[in-house]
Amino acid sequence: MRALRPIGIVLLGSALVACAGHKPRPTPSSLPPASAPRGASLPPDTARPQSERYRQNDDNGPAAPPIDVSKIAEPVPKAEPRSRYGNKDTYSVLGQTYKLLPDASGYVERGIASWYGNKFHGYMTSSFEPYDMYAFSAAHKTLPLPSYARVTNLDNGKSVVVRINDRGPFHENRIIDLSYAAAVKIGVWPKGTGLVEVRAIDPAHPQADMPPPSRSAAVAPTPAKPTGEPPRLATVPTPPSRAPSASAEVPRIYLQLGAYGERANAERAVANATRSGIDRVAIQSVVVDGHTVHRVRVGPLADVDAADAMTQRIEQLGLGAPRVAIER
């Protein structure tokens, strides 16, 4: 990765190697020292190469028992100016180019969440704010910084509002990297990963797109400064998150190889994958904006590890990079 021009790209490093289900993200072995923009002062940790930046090599949670997340206030969505850093229209990491969304309105996506914690606690995020693993925050590849979203664990119905102030995760098949506290809140920690829905929140209408469960009465519009210790906050009255009923469908993981307007093209993709030895490939036809789309998907797969292994196999066979799709 090139030196900081602008600084937002190099500052992605805080999320670049964050925990992705206890599987470190692929990262360059080293990065050139960053250079601060004219008139700005660059903190020491962002001026160092990746290999020298952090106090520990592997990520983990705190050594103490899990924190009491009921005493941590969820952030209250509010209109904020875009961060000076981390909002470049397009950027590239590890050979992949990402294009920022013009705004967060209407964004809803299901996929796999990971989390990051102690290794990055106190270091700068892509928006040039110190990362606090005891605050409800997250890293995302394309949502504006900062923005707000409700993240719901599809396995248990628990949800949390997070303030997105970092870039990542740059691990295949992950759509969001949760702070340690947020991961504990919805049950992604200590499992490492979870199947989630990420739904952006419009600060002007924060309740408009929220599902019924877990609407917090907390009042913490900005993340607390890292102290190295779990927060000691007054208890915030938060209704218990909704647990799935016995009849609720279990979320299923698929890998989508492509989506086609012509069914013949989808059938050719299925035949190609089958010839390559990929099993359980099927076409799912849906109507989107009045047009029929034929999705070619592999699955359902047993779990996240199976999805990761199948993704690697599909790419090695030259069938492209599949995307995760979660169905219920």
Which token pair is 158?
Answer: 């628990």
Asked if residue 152 lies in contact with residue 158, where contact means CB atoms within 8 angstroms, the answer is yes
Residue type, 11: L
**Cis bond upstream, residue 231 (ω within 30):** no
Answer yes or no: do 31 and 171 share one domain: yes
Q: Is residue 288 part of a domain?
A: yes
Three-state secondary structure call for residue 112: strand
- Which of 27-41, 120-134, 184-198 is predicted least confidently? 27-41
Three-state secondary structure call for residue 213: coil
Answer yes or no: do 85 and 175 share one domain: yes
pLDDT in tens, 228-267: 444 433 323 334 444 444 445 789 999 999 999 999 999 9
Answer yes or no: do 80 and 176 share one domain: yes
Answer yes or no: do 132 and 276 share one domain: no
Q: Distance (Å, rounded) from C-alpha 132 to C-alpha 179?
A: 8
pLDDT in tens, 260-307: 999 999 999 999 999 999 999 999 999 998 999 999 999 999 999 999
User: Looking at residues 79-84, what average pLDDT do you find?
Assistant: 95
Q: Tell me the CATH number at 283.
A: 3.30.70.1070
Q: What is the pTM of this model?
A: 0.74
Answer yes or no: do 159 and 305 share one domain: no
Domain boundary at 180, 201, 222, which?
A: 201
Q: Distance (Å, rounded) from C-alpha 111 to C-alpha 154?
A: 10
Q: Which pairing describes strands 159-166 and 137-139: parallel, antiparallel, or unpaired?
A: parallel
Per-residue pLDDT at 264? 97
Answer yes or no: do 30 and 103 share one domain: yes
160 beta partners:
151
Q: Is residue 237 part of a domain?
A: no
Q: Is residue 258 part of a domain?
A: yes
User: Looking at residues 200-218, what average pLDDT do you find?
Assistant: 61
Domain boundary at 168, 201, 234, which?
A: 201
93: how many CB neighbours lie within 10 A of its CB?
21
Range of the domain at 279: 252-327
Domain boundary at 201, 221, 237, which?
A: 201
Q: Is residue 15 part of a domain?
A: yes
Per-residue pLDDT at 213? 46
Q: For 168-205, b where at least 16 C-beta lie within 10 A, e where not — what string? A: bbbbbbbbbbbbbbbbbbbebbeebbbbbbbbbbbeee
Q: Distance (Å, rounded) from C-alpha 75 to C-alpha 163?
A: 7
Q: Where are the alpha helices (DSSP H) in the chain?
A: 7-10, 13-16, 44-47, 50-53, 180-186, 263-275, 304-316
Which token pair is 43?
Answer: 């903190």
Q: Tell me the CATH number at 64.
A: 2.40.40.10
Three-state secondary structure call for residue 109: strand
Answer yes or no: do 263 and 153 share one domain: no
- Which of 80-94, 174-188, 196-210 is predicted least confidently? 196-210
Asked if residue 180 lies in contact with residue 133, where contact means CB atoms within 8 angstroms, the answer is yes
Instruction: Please choose, from the candidates 253, 268, 257, the residue with its C-alpha nearest in 3D space to the C-alpha of residue 196.
Output: 253
Q: Distance (Å, rounded) from C-alpha 310 to C-alpha 70?
A: 37
Q: Distance (Å, rounded) from C-alpha 64 to C-alpha 79?
A: 35
Altogether, the residues listed in the chain come to a count of 328
Answer yes or no: do 140 and 39 share one domain: yes
**How does residue 22 score in pLDDT terms, banded at 50, 70 and 90?**
very low
Answer yes or no: do 26 and 122 share one domain: yes
Per-residue pLDDT at 209? 58
Answer yes or no: do 184 and 312 share one domain: no
258 beta partners:
296
Residue type, 17: V
- Cβ neighbors of 59 (< 8 A, separation 6 or more) are 17, 18, 19, 22, 24, 116, 117, 118, 119, 120
Per-residue pLDDT at 50? 53
Answer yes or no: do 197 and 264 share one domain: no
**How does residue 152 score in pLDDT terms, banded at 50, 70 and 90?**
very high
**How does residue 205 score in pLDDT terms, banded at 50, 70 and 90?**
confident
Q: Is residue 236 part of a domain?
A: no
- For the chain, give percent helix, strand, coil, nearest 5: 15, 25, 60
How many folded domains does the chain comprise?
2
Q: Is residue 114 part of a domain?
A: yes
pLDDT in tens, 32-67: 333 333 344 445 555 555 555 555 556 656 767 678
Q: Is residue 227 part of a domain?
A: no
Q: Is residue 30 part of a domain?
A: yes
Answer yes or no: do 37 and 155 share one domain: yes
